[in-house]
Amino acid sequence: MNAVTGLVYHEDYLKHDTGVHPECAERLVSIMQKLESAGITEELNRITPIKATKEQIRYVHRDAYIMKVEALCARGGGMLDPDTPICPASGEIALLSAGGMLKAVDTVMVDKMRQIFALVRPPGHHAIPNAGMGFCIFNNIAIAAEHLKRKYGIKRILIVDWDVHHGNGTQETFFDDSSVLYYSMHQYPHYPGTGWIDEVGKGEGEGFTVNVPLQAGTTDAGYLYVLENILVPIAMDFKPEFVLVSAGFDAHINDPLASMNVTSSGFGLFAEMIKGIAEKSCDGKMVIALEGGYNLNALAESVLAVFESLLSRDERSEKKAEGIPEPMKKRVEEIRQAQRIYWSNVL
Ligand SMILES: [Zn+2]
């Protein structure tokens, strides 16, 4: 047993029934089978989530929206938005999904555990304060960040979002908040349409939103290039007390909903680099939330690669960012230009 690495999972996550839909229960079944057949589950601390309270959901979401979800479930389910079907149990399972992230951050704060991956569904990063959208009901990672602020007085939280879609809900929640640095790298243009370079936060939060819009076809090397050249210097300046990750696996080369070219082992390298930031800045405190990822096999392989990175204690050689195409270098330069005024480390 590895003392510092954990896994949040609950069989009830399968009860959020979306019918014939890419965000389906089989996603988690496929992941758990892969982890078990790789013999990795015995090495992980299993953490059982409990439901978030409504008060905790209200950290991020408005009452009228929470009541809308409850009413739709009570009526037998339906469409929360054109992309987001819910069943009678979905409201309760969404509480358990947010609760999975809360249990994970509590476990890191009070225990010796350091990296926990919460295999939750429904996902959360598109859910905005007054609406669910894009397969998401409650914004699990935003609720966890608010919980860290309110319960533990954490003042600097880094959220890294590598889902292929921009996490508009998380961005909106913390757009004017300097205690949460939101970094997203995503395919652009793509759903939900937000996440351009000039969205940098406002008011107190100006400079604490970092968007890295990427062209279709971006590879592992391209992602590692932007992580090294944008995330790492900004994070080292910000010095997070806690690192949260919105881990979607829909940038995988085989994913049906997007057009990126990331491999399963590529996601392991992203996790390794972000774990390095957490180790340097906050004694390794890091919690990962599952977001998207819709090719069942690619999703399971990629989650396994992330766990392998979390479990490895040796320094592995990082894949060098070679052969970076000129448009990518130009894009990175544009982002640096937008961020340089806020972060002295960004040269
Ligand atoms: Zn996604």
Q: Check residue 318 and give its pLDDT.
A: 56
Q: What is 262-294 written as a DSSP string?
A: B-HHHHHHHHHHHHHHHHHHHTT-EEEEE----
Share of the chain above pLDDT 70, in %: 97
Residue 345 pLDDT greater than 90, yes or no:
no
- Residue 21 bears catalytic tag: no
Q: pLDDT-derived band of residue 157, with 50, 70 and 90 as boundaries? A: very high
Please state the rounded mean pLDDT for residues 181-200.
Answer: 98
CA 332 to centroid of ligand 1, rounded, Å: 22
The answer to whether 95 touches 52, Cβ cutoff 8 Å, is yes
Could you tell me what percent of the chain has a pLDDT over 90? 94
DSSP letter for 103, please: H
DSSP 65-85: HHHHHHHHHHTT-EEEETTEE
CA of 156 to the centre of ligand 1 (A): 25
pLDDT at residue 206 greater than cutoff 60 = yes
The whole-number pLDDT of residue 211 equals: 98
What is the pLDDT at residue 2? 77
pLDDT at 321: 57
12-47 pLDDT tens trace: 999 999 999 999 999 999 999 999 999 999 999 999
**What token pair was written down for 316?**
């592995």
Q: Using the predicted structure, report yes or no on whether residue 314 has a pLDDT greater than 70.
A: no
State the DSSP code for 134: T
What whole-number distance in Å separates Cα of residue 269 and Cα of residue 263? 10
Using DSSP bridges, classify how beta strands 78-81 and 84-86 pair: parallel, antiparallel or unpaired.
antiparallel
CA distance 316 to 40: 19
The mean pLDDT of 129-153, rounded to a whole number, is 98
Ligand 1 centre distance from Cα of residue 114 (Å): 26
What is the Cα–Cα distance from 112 to 117, expressed in whole angstroms? 15
List 10, 61, 125, 126, catalytic entry: 126
The mean of the pLDDT values for the chain is: 96
Residue 58 and residue 69 in contact, taking contact as beta carbons nearer than 8 Å: no
- Across the range 298-310, mean pLDDT stands at 97
How remote is the CA of residue 125 from the centroid of ligand 1, in Å?
Answer: 8
Give the residue among 107, 110, 74, 155 at the shortest CA–CA distance from 6. 107
Q: Which of 336, 335, 332, 305 is nearest to 321 (CA)?
A: 332
Ordered by start, the domain boundaries in the chain are 5-339
Nearest of 270, 234, 250, 25 to residue 126 by alpha carbon: 250
Q: What confidence tens digit (pLDDT) does each residue in 75-134 have?
A: 999 999 999 999 999 999 999 999 999 999 999 999 989 999 999 999 999 999 999 999
Size of the chain, expressed as the number of residues it contains: 347
CB 119, CB 103: distance < 8 Å: no
Domain 5-339 -> CATH class: alpha beta
Say how far apart CA 117 and CA 103 lie, in whole Å. 11
| Statement: residue 319 has pLDDT above 70 | no
Query: For residue 181, what is the enclosing H or E element?
Result: strand 180-187
The rounded Å distance from CA 291 to ligand 1 centre is 6
- Characterise 76 by phi-psi region: left (phi > 0), alpha (psi -120 to 50), beta (else): left
Residue matched to tokens 């496929």: 30
* Predicted TM-score (pTM) of this structure: 0.97
What pLDDT is stored for residue 316 in this prediction? 56
- Does an H or E element contain 169, and which? helix 168-174
Q: What was the pLDDT predicted at 323?
A: 82
Mean pLDDT of 165-186: 98
Q: What is the DSSP letter of 15?
A: G
Cis peptide before 240 (omega within 30 of 0): no
Number of Cβ atoms within 10 Å of the Cβ of 109: 16
Q: Which of the four pLDDT bands, split at 50, 70 and 90, describes residue 3? A: confident
The average pLDDT across 218-247 equals 97
For residue 250, how far is its CA from the centre of ligand 1 (angstroms)?
6
Q: In this predicted structure, what is the pLDDT of residue 317?
A: 52
Instruction: Say whether 187 sits in a helix, a strand or coil.
Output: strand
